[in-house]
Amino acid sequence: MKKYSKKVILALDTTDTQKINFLFKELSGIIEIIKIGYQSFIHFGPDIVQKAIGAGFKVFLDLKLHDIPNTIEKAIESCIKHRIHMVTLHVSGGREMIEKAISAKQQFKSDIKLLGVTVLTSFDDIGFKELNYRLPLKEMVKFFAVKAKMWGMDGIICSPMEIKDLRQEIGKNLLIITPGIRFDKGQDDQKRTLSPNEAFEAGADYIVVGRPILKSDNPKNFFENI
Ligand code: C5P
């Protein structure tokens, strides 16, 4: 359990301070990385990052950046100054945007991990078709993953169901991080899900888990079944 618990990233999708204090206390020593996304970052601002770091966690800032290259370069500089460990960027932002992010990283000799978002795990084929991309969802995920590698990113975010195929395409060195983790299927908006054990077996380096831990009265329970 311990070996794999460090590979679970908690998605801190809450603005409840009491709950956050409770989770930090309960999960200290069990997990290493806390993912801070829109909900908690917009509510608390950078204080929540400092709070997590102060509690001994590394921070994965999941703001799924997508903007003009110069803005992204400056955003990555700020991430580095705030001691962010991992940050997400949409691969669809394009080569120039990703290259600027990498140049900020190199300039500050930082080891921040730049992670490429492929296609959000909440999409299924029907929803994705409405966007009118030339390739179907699965092919598009592969396309973005290959570009992330080609452009020098450190890892990708994808659905657990895509891991096996993608490993073959991108090799061993790129980190694969996957949300969409559920012990039971069909509970909410996540459509392309696997269980934690299935995701690790398929080759995930880390899994991101939010609601299955956040909604539980005993957050440690989740780790008993891994
Ligand atoms: O609650 P749940 O386990 O679904 O949380 C998954 C987390 O992963 C959320 O914070 C969500 O924003 C994030 N995420 C995702 N799909 C992606 C990238 C990130 O669900 N492609």
89 touches ligand 1 (CB under 6 Å):
no
Which residue is catalytic, options 6, 35, 51, 64? Answer: 64
- Atom number in ligand 1 closest to CA 214: 1
142-170 tens-digit pLDDT? 999 999 999 999 999 998 989 999 999 99
34 touches ligand 1 (CB under 6 Å):
no
Residue 3: pLDDT over 80: no
Q: Where are the beta strands (DSSP E) in 52-190?
A: 58-65, 86-90, 113-117, 155-157, 175-178
**Number of domains composing the chain:** 1
Q: Ligand 1 centroid vs 107 CA: distance in angstroms?
A: 30
Q: Is 64 a catalytic residue?
A: yes
- What pLDDT, on a 0 to 100 scale, did the predictor assign at position 197? 93
Measure Cα distances from 211 to 3, 69, 145, 218 in Å. Answer: 22, 33, 26, 12
Q: Ligand 1 centroid vs 208 CA: distance in angstroms?
A: 7
Q: Ligand 1 centroid vs 209 CA: distance in angstroms?
A: 7
Question: What is the pLDDT of the chain when averaged over all its residues?
Answer: 94
13 touches ligand 1 (CB under 6 Å):
yes
Q: What is the CATH number of the domain that holds 84?
A: 3.20.20.70
Residue 167's domain spans which residues? Answer: 2-224
45-86 tens-digit pLDDT? 999 999 999 999 999 999 999 999 999 999 999 999 999 999
- What pLDDT, on a 0 to 100 scale, did the predictor assign at position 2? 64
Predicted confidence band at 186 (pLDDT cuts at 50, 70, 90)? low
